[in-house]
Amino acid sequence: MGLPEPTYPCSYDGRWWDFQGLREFCTPWREVAARGVSVHIGEFGCFAATSDDVAVRWFADLLAAFREFRWGWALWEFEGPFGVVGHGREGAHFEPHDGYLVDRRLLDLLTP
């Protein structure tokens, strides 16, 4: 409440957030990975109240960075406001897949 509508790419907390901004933010963990340590992003997601276009752009850049770095990751949840099923983001296209109504664009981003 009282916050501006989320956008992406965007300026937040004194820095510019886009693909390059995400890559730069990940620098400390990239340095750890360069020493041979595996990196896993424990959980992340985008809340259902965020517009679908903004969420898809952010997911696309974030997942591209994780793939580039060869990092493991986990989505916060499969089903619900942060999931690929049942988030209800306005503008998302849901279609049947293995017994679920899934967000097709998000599923395509999540699967290599």
- The predicted pLDDT at position 1 comes to 72
Structural domain boundaries of the chain?
10-110
**pLDDT beyond 90 at 4:** no
Q: Provide, rounded to the nearest whole percent, the portion of the chain with pLDDT above 70.
A: 100
**pLDDT beyond 90 at 47:** no
For residue 50, give the DSSP letter: S
Instruction: Read off the pLDDT of residues 84-93 as tens digits, 9 standing for 90 and up.
Output: 999 999 899 9
Query: Can you point out the beta strands (E) in the chain?
Result: 10-12, 15-17, 40-44, 72-75, 94-97, 100-103
- For the record, the structure tokens of 90 come out as 């306005």
Count other C-beta atoms under 10 Å from residue 105's C-beta.
19
**pLDDT beyond 90 at 17:** yes
For residue 90, give the DSSP letter: T
**Over residues 91-108, mean pLDDT:** 94
Reported as a pLDDT band with limits 50, 70 and 90, residue 33 is very high
